[in-house]
Amino acid sequence: MVNDASDTAEESLAYKLERSTGSFFERIQKLWQKKWFRLFAAFLGLCALGWLLIWLIFARDLPDAAALRTYEPPLPTMVRAYDGEPVHSYARERRVQLEFSEYPALLVRAYLAAEDRTFFEHGGLDYPGIATAIVTNISNSGRPVGASTITQQVAKNLLLSSEVSYRRKVREAILAYRIEDVLTKEEILELYLNQIFLGRNAYGVQAAAQAYFNKDVDALALHEIAYLAILPKGPSNYRPEVHAERAIGRRNWVLKGMRDNDWITSAQYQTASAQPLGAVSNSGPRFERVGGYFIEEVRRQLIEQFGENEEAGPYSVYSGGLWVRTSLNPQLQGYTKDALREGLLRYSRGKGWTGPINTIEIDDQWPQRLASTFINTDHANWQIAVVTKSARSETEIGFKDGTAGQISSAPSKLKVGDIIAVSPLGGSRYRLENVPEVSGGMVVQNPHNGRIWAMQGGFDDRMSSFNRATQAERQPGSTIKPFVYATALEKGMTPATLIDDSPFCVYQSAALGRKCFRNFGNARGAGEQTLRWGVEQSRNLMTVRAANDAGMENVVSTIKTMGIGDYNPYLAFALGAGDTSVMKLTNAYSMLANHGRELNPTVIDFVQNREGKVIFRTDKRMCENCNLRDWDGQPMPRPRPAGRQLMDPMTAYQMIDILQGVITRGTAQNLKGLNRPLFGKTGTASGPTNVWFVGGSPDMVAGVYMGYDQPRNMGGYAQGGTLAAPIFRRFAEKAMAGMPKTPFVAPKGIRMVRVDRKSGKRVYGGWPTDDPQSAVIWDVFKPETEPRRSIRKEELLARLEARKAQLLAEQAAAEAAAQAANRNRTPAQNDDEFLQAEGGIY
């Protein structure tokens, strides 16, 4: 019964649906018979087909306009010194991003007058403007007139290409509507004013204000604002140095538009239109150029960490808008650069002109060719020029700006096309300057944390970009010896240990054969001397004996642990035969001053993104309770010391104390005049092919190297003490002038003992004096290693022999006196008296 009722209901529903459907189709069929309905249906079909075609051809792959809400324009990376002052920027596009509220209202209106007067009224497209442009282009055979609104320009610049086609214009119009839906008018204007290209590599109005007027946007005058507003149409058409009249005419047209829209008064218009352009010449970097080699090392590390372009990620160097705090000290960098340059020039004086910096072809375009080399210098009053005409009596030269001059007494090997350095003599006369062929590198480091304060990798980075402070691997010579002796100290020697300074030969291997070592300059051996004396006088024979006794496997292990290099266990490496860099060796000496604790040389402190968030930090140490709001009554919290303990602190201090003797009594005595606690070591590689000095104070360590890029003999007189140490002295005289004279602090456990400087034996009766050559000095020992108060067998025998000699001398003197007295008496009366007078029986 229930089933029958259900079947009946279903049949009834099906009938109703069939009847309804049939009724619908019948109506359509009736309407289709009417012409107007068929035309209407065809129109709808064409519209649908049109929209489909538009979507397929123009809108199918359009970018999402909503992406502009989070759009971040490419921004340069700003580099700051240790104190936060900007010193450089890495940029391929000059741009400064501002918020809309930071742009003056008058500036915004100037751009509206020039580009889109109805911007705040239309919805993305200016239909009257489009119609006017069509009519103008049909009736005018000149330059076509466009009708792009500011919204369309934003769509083209940020989401589309600059392709000239109708397809791009349609896509641009579609995007303009979409942009108006997702962004406010102010947000659109902000994107436009920050992005638009205005010439002189300036993207955005703030960058253009700096490029053309050396001002910020809020300091621009009305006529300057109007000039910037004409540049979007084509910056090259209104270059002030070429098309000044055309630019003034177009600028005044913008001012007239602003007056007609009541955005400025007639008086303002009259005053501004009467002004000259007032644009400055094409300005270079905003910052004074400092630390070329240092800044390039920072750039290299940033690219390695974050990538170069925006394809590499959001924090790329040339578009990520990073803020980089470095350890660069501009003042110390200047001292470093000047000291190294003076040292290179001092060595080169009297050696004759060494040749051109580079060469170019001389034709009508030689000024552009010279400029495109980017060769420059900031040394003294030097300028870069090229030889344009060479004659016996006079040589003509030219500069990047096309001006000319003359050189007198030019060398015969000077050729047309040679790029040279010159200095002015007056008028159009110049003197040829010699860029040193020899080069070198210098690094200045904080030994407490490893931060690099200054770095100079050659004479000038704009002449040679090769950084000899970090990239040049050279033999360090005797500057490696402190780490050889540090190993010996670790293996039981003391500063007072006697080492034989005599010929030393060793059979190294079947391949290397027998090797005999010698002192520098073939100096004769001095016999047994203290370890301290061997370091101070840089004795090679004592060094190889110490290395041999300590074990070369242990020596090269110490050298590797200190980050200097990875060498095979051959004795030659104890004398500096292995290659290393100035940076590595300076850092190793800094670790000695840091009581043997690990340091990593760093040039970057931290990096922030464009919002100010720190995305990279060199010092990752945690500091517990450092952010407490109130003092908790406990000692001030401090981060734990960074780095591992790579060397026994007492061993490191022993070497520091010994290396102070190098300054006061050894190979670097020309630094005594600095009159402060200093340690250091000179070095001269075989040849000599390069010279070194590394050392400093408890708060500043510096290393310097000098040599040819293709190593060759520098001359027999070349030594670390005569060439490299004076460079350090010139630097330190200025860099350390205001620094306190802080002594080196000994670690816990060190014993200070009075010893005889020559023998190393303990002294009880005398005291050290201020004279570096004092016979008695304070020496440093680890516990239980200082000389004992004891009399050895040989000392006892020596004392007995001395006493016996003294007694015999006294007896001989007495007998001589008796004989003299007897000669004045009466001759002897008996045999006893005779024998006594003659001193015995013969």
* 319-340 pLDDT per residue, tens: 999 999 999 999 999 999 999 9
* Residue of 453, 337, 336 lying closest to 82 (CA atoms): 453
Tokens representing residue 651 in the block: 């061993």
Residues 6+ apart with CB under 8 A from 324: 77, 78, 79, 80, 298, 302, 604, 606, 607, 608
Task: Quote the pLDDT of residue 468.
Answer: 97
CB 595 within 8 A of CB 579: no
The CA-CA-CA angle for residues 234, 236, 238, to 5°, reads 80
Rounded to 5 degrees, what are φ and ψ at 705? -130, 145
Which run of H or E residues covers position 173? helix 166-182
**Beta bridge pairs of residue 89:** 78
As a whole number of Å, the end-to-end CA separation of the chain is 172
CB 547 within 8 A of CB 488: yes
Please report, to the nearest 10 degrees, the dihedral formed by the alpha carbons of residues 547, 552, 558, 559 taken in order: 90
| Single-letter amino acid, residue 346 | R
**pLDDT tens readout for residues 21-38:** 556 667 777 777 777 777
Strands 383-390, 418-426: pairing kind: antiparallel
**Beta bridge pairs of residue 681:** 694
Instruction: Report the b/e string of 409-428 with b at 16+ CB within 10 A.
Output: ebeeebebbbbbbbeeeeee
Q: What distance in Å separates the CA atoms of residue 71 and residue 584, rounded to the nearest whole number? A: 43
Beta-carbon neighbour count of residue 362 at 10 Å?
18
> How far from the centroid of its chain's Cα atoms is residue 164's Cα?
44
Tokens representing residue 140 in the block: 């005018």
Three-state DSSP state, 130: helix
CB 180 within 8 A of CB 186: no
Instruction: Report the b/e string of 547-565 with b at 16+ CB within 10 A.
Output: bbebebebbbebbebbbbb
Residues with pLDDT less than 70, the chain:
1-25, 49-67, 129-130, 132-147, 158-171, 174, 283-288, 789-796, 799, 821-842
Strands 429-433, 404-407: pairing kind: parallel
CB 590 within 8 A of CB 646: no
Rounded to 5 degrees, what are φ and ψ at 441? -145, 155
Return left, alpha or beta for 279; rule: phi > 0 is left, psi -120 to 50 is alpha, else beta: beta
Which run of H or E residues covers position 396? strand 395-398
Task: Quote the pLDDT of residue 160.
Answer: 53
| Single-letter amino acid, residue 816 | A
Q: What distance in Å separates the CA atoms of residue 288 and residue 773, rounded to the nearest whole number? A: 48
CB 798 within 8 A of CB 764: no
In 146-303, where do the E strands start and end?
202-203
Task: Quote the pLDDT of residue 402.
Answer: 93
Question: What pTM was estimated for this model as a whole?
Answer: 0.83
Q: What distance in Å separates the CA atoms of residue 454 and residue 586, rounded to the nearest whole number? A: 12
Q: What distance in Å separates the CA atoms of residue 146 and residue 155, rounded to the nearest whole number? A: 15
Please report, to the nearest 10 degrees, the dihedral formed by the alpha carbons of residues 118, 119, 122, 124 taken in order: 140
What are the residue numbers of the active site?
A: 115, 478
Rounded to 5 degrees, what are φ and ψ at 697? -110, 180
Three-state DSSP state, 452: strand
CB 125 within 8 A of CB 92: no
* Residue of 591, 305, 284, 585 lying closest to 442 (CA atoms): 585
Task: Quote the pLDDT of residue 111.
Answer: 95
CB 360 within 8 A of CB 386: yes
In 399-552, where do the E strands start and end?
404-407, 418-426, 429-433, 439-445, 452-456, 498-501, 504-509, 513-517, 527-530
Strands 202-203, 94-95: pairing kind: parallel
Task: Taking each helix axis as running N to C, give the angle between helix 481-490 and helix 552-561, from 0 to 180 degrees, rounded to the nearest 10.
Answer: 120
DSSP 8-class letter at 286: S
Task: Quote the pLDDT of residue 19.
Answer: 52
Which run of H or E residues covers position 398? strand 395-398
CA distances from 635 to 94, 625, 630, 641 (A): 49, 11, 13, 16
